[in-house]
Structure 1
């Protein structure tokens, strides 16, 4: 027998409230949308960094 028992309250309903929206359905084979956003930002940032470094190399060679 457990040491502590929780009393059941009759005023709590097990049904969800009607104004709440249901949780988003989980699909196992689909990655989250935030992953695509992060990958896009990383790719763009990498290209910008490489372009800036190339520009610095071109400026350094012309001097």
Structure 2
């Protein structure tokens, strides 16, 4: 396995972790728990950045 493949695997793992975190944040928001709203937007932005790297 070369470095590029390892990088893709790491990207995929990080994307999955961020998606899980985003689901948790959305559930907290829907159940009226206190969260900082900007964290959801930053998480979405980070996911989009990683997906751009992944597909390029």
- TM-score by length of structure 1 reads 0.48
Q: What residue ranges of structure 2 are gaps of 5+ in the alignment?
A: 34-56
Please give the alpha-carbon distance, in whole angstroms, between the structure 2 residues aligned to 1:59 and 1:53.
10
Q: What residue ranges of structure 1 are gaps of 5+ in the alignment?
A: 1-30
- TM-score by length of structure 2 reads 0.53
Q: 52, 60, 63: which is aligned to 2:22? A: 52
Cα shift at 1:32: 1.5
Q: Which runs of 4+ in 1 moved over 4 A?
A: none
* Residue number in structure 2 paired with 1:39: 9
Aligned length: 33
> What is the alpha-carbon root mean square deviation over aligned residues?
1.4
